[in-house]
Chains A and B, each alone.
Chain A
Amino acid sequence: MSPTPDDPLVLVRDLRVTFTGGRAPVQAVSGVDLTVHRGEAVALIGESGSGKSVTLRALLRLHSPKRTVMEGTIRVVGQDVLALGGRALADYRGKVASMIFQEPLLALDPVYTVGKQIVESILRHENVSATDARKRALQLFERVRIPSPERRLDAYPHEMSGGMRQRAMIALALACNPQVLLADEPTTALDATVQIQILLLLRELQRELGLAIVFVTHDIGAAIEVADRIAVMYAGRIVEEGPARTLIRAPRHPYTLALLQSRAHGALAKGSRLQTIGGSPPDLAHLPQGCAFAERCRFAADACLATQPPALELAPGHQARCLRTEATAAAANAVTAMA
């Protein structure tokens, strides 16, 4: 069956990723569902160890097969990603979905010029001449707005500034016209004035090329600038997901609320203390039976410790895995009323 235009480009169902290399197996991702349509940008946010990058890398099958067990379903543009092997997997990477990383200086090869790396990628995937590939590389550099593109194609990664390198990596990722762009903290290493340029570029590419973007970040601000929908991860699960506006204005999971409230922001009075989340995230090798956040949650009830809360549909497209969403709603409303 061929995919229809309305089908989601990315469809993840009950994804479980377990790392088996250590003493005890680590459940980095335990049951993630994610749907991304054409032209849609979804941000995965969460703290270190929440499983956001592991989920993203699973979409491109970047985890070592020897030390990783992956279960569930990942369908990207109609292909069963977990079943791909050898040649088909190599064709999939870059042509269907491609990724940009946090540190372009590590992701790009230091001994080849950036132009050469883009040309190589095009020649690997498509049956075109080297001249045409180079022409395409030049267009890509113009597309991501690198000044004097002709000259920059012959530059080595170390000869470029941080923002320029990130643009070059985006050009490389787009070289074979993928439909899905995966971005792993793409602006974390950049300066503030450069970060906003890259965020705006991603938004523009999403709109003009109809890309589906999955964007991993720990910065809520960056997520808001780019994403239509935001998914909040905690201990390997998406605990809340919804349209960016809803999630920021009316969070329903206590962890989302706590994350929003712990941020330092301009409206805070001098000398006032920030709200913090007590305790620390659970050990992924020994996950609790119930809700993973219950131990740190101010609304936790006995039921929270006993079973895993199911995803609760609060409004179309807005879900939270929590038994006490009404408590969070009351707390969130109290904050809004005060402001």
Chain B
Amino acid sequence: MSADDVGGPRQPMLRVRQLVKHFPLKGQWGRGAGTVCAVDGIDFEVLKGETLGVVGESGCGKSTTARLLMHLIERTGGEIDFDGRTVGGRGLTLKDFRRQVQMVFQDSYSSLNPRLTIEDSVAFGPQVHGVEARTSVSRARELLARVGLEPRRFAERYPHELSGGQRQRVNIARALALQPRLIILDEAVSALDKSVEAQVLNLLLDLKEEFGLTYLFISHDLNVVRYISDRVMVMYLGQVVEIGASEEIFVAPKHPYTKALLASMPSMDPDRRTQEAPLAGDPPNPIDPPPGCRFHTRCKFAEPVCITRVPTLAGDGHAVACLMHEPGSGHSRAAGAAA
């Protein structure tokens, strides 16, 4: 148990309520040209010690959510509580929060300073937080060894002298240097080759056990998300459409979008190749998203009520935002519909 823990194991690590991020677009002659609704009122919790997977297509707001959680960009609205305390409020300064929450990005090269040796990169964070230089460097070497980079061979190297997989190990070591409790992994293995990806995933699982970490794992690769996550959150155009235990989402998905997303995964059986694409067209633009249920433009079960009524995310444990699962919503497939 970390010394930073205040609320005990039952209190969620992270509680997000009605989180909103709108990016205003600049039009010509200083006029506004609309708004990108990147994240539009999402609620979720990350429990202590779990891995929450986040999936969705480009423009669904998964990376914006990560950046909002890290306070890298300012939110338009909503609340983020970390272990029961508001970030920046009483008891938890932003600096203190950032020590406990770290992030690993997709591009392993651009997220490292090219002018620092990797040892210095890993030692940099602790020094900012008041750790003596000598101590932080020796700790950095321990961490490099832990992520599989022999310090005597690698510590003095610069990022461009490493392969993509090795650089991502450095990024993981750097995230660990501050002894965080929550690590946000934003497509952290997506740019790696499959065999390297497997090595990094194994490393992430080992580190999680060893240090009692909590992960928020963002990826577009559904196989990887299923493998690593305890719970999965599915996003579509800035909203959460379904959230629940990983196996429930993958074995018994409820939302038509989740179903289509899973059915779009290429088949691994040459005798059972996909015969028909589950969805037509691309995801709509998050500028001026469709009214009502945002998925209605691509949903084969859409009815007029889906255009006018906004579904709410409801359900204990396995929650879904779809009018077909909302009793009395007026959708012909919903419970309580007139026969």
Contact = CB atoms under 8 A, between A and B. Distances in A.
A228 B266 CA distance: 15
B277 A196 contact: yes
A224 B282 contact: no
B296 to A, nearest CB: 15
A222 B266 contact: yes
B270 A191 contact: no
A275 to B, nearest CB: 7
A163 to B, nearest CB: 5
Interface string A210-246: 0000000011111011000000000000000000110
Contacts of B264: 192-193, 195-196
Interface stretch (B85-93, B222-230, B314-322): B222-230
B222 A265 contact: no
A221 B266 contact: yes
Interface stretch (B11-19, B63-71, B122-130, B194-202): B194-202
A259 B195 contact: yes
B274 interface: yes
Interface stretch (A131-139, A173-181, A266-274, A322-330): A266-274
Contacts of B280: 197
A220 B199 CA distance: 18
Most B Cβ at <10 Å: residue of A161, A164, A222, A258 = A161
Contacts, number: 122
Query: What is the size category of the interface that chain B forms with chain A?
Result: 35 or more
B223 A266 contact: yes
Given A193-B279, A196-B264, A199-B266, A275 B227 contact: no
Contacts of A191: 57-58, 220, 282-283
Given A193-B277, A259-B194, A276-B199, A224 B267 contact: yes
Interface string B157-198: 000000111000000000000000000000000000111111
Nearest to B246: A270
A47 interface: yes
Contacts of B285: 161
Contacts of B202: 273-274, 276
Interface in B241-275: 250, 260-261, 264-271, 273-274
A262 B267 CA distance: 17
Contact of A220 (B227, B268, B273, B279): B268
B73 interface: no
B278 interface: yes
Most A Cβ at <10 Å: residue of B195, B222, B279 = B195
B149 to A, nearest CB: 13
Nearest to B165: A280
A48 interface: yes
A300 interface: no
Given A221-B268, A265-B227, A193 B261 contact: yes
Contacts of A192: 57, 220, 222, 261, 264-265
Most B Cβ at <10 Å: residue of A164, A191, A220, A259 = A191
Contacts of B282: 161-164, 191, 194
A240 to B, nearest CB: 15
Interface of A: 47-48, 147, 161-164, 191-197, 199-200, 203, 218-222, 224-225, 244-245, 248, 258-259, 262-266, 268, 270-271, 273-277, 280
Given A221-B266, A224-B267, A245-B270, 17 more contacts: A47-B196, A192-B220, A193-B261, A196-B264, A196-B265, A196-B274, A196-B277, A222-B266, A244-B270, A248-B269, A248-B270, A263-B223, A266-B250, A270-B230, A275-B198, A276-B195, A277-B198
21 contacts: A164-B282, A193-B261, A194-B282, A195-B266, A196-B264, A196-B266, A196-B277, A196-B278, A224-B268, A225-B266, A225-B267, A248-B268, A259-B195, A262-B194, A263-B194, A263-B223, A264-B197, A264-B201, A264-B228, A265-B268, A277-B198
5 tightest CB-CB pairs across the interface, nearest first? A221-B266, A264-B227, A191-B57, A47-B193, A161-B282
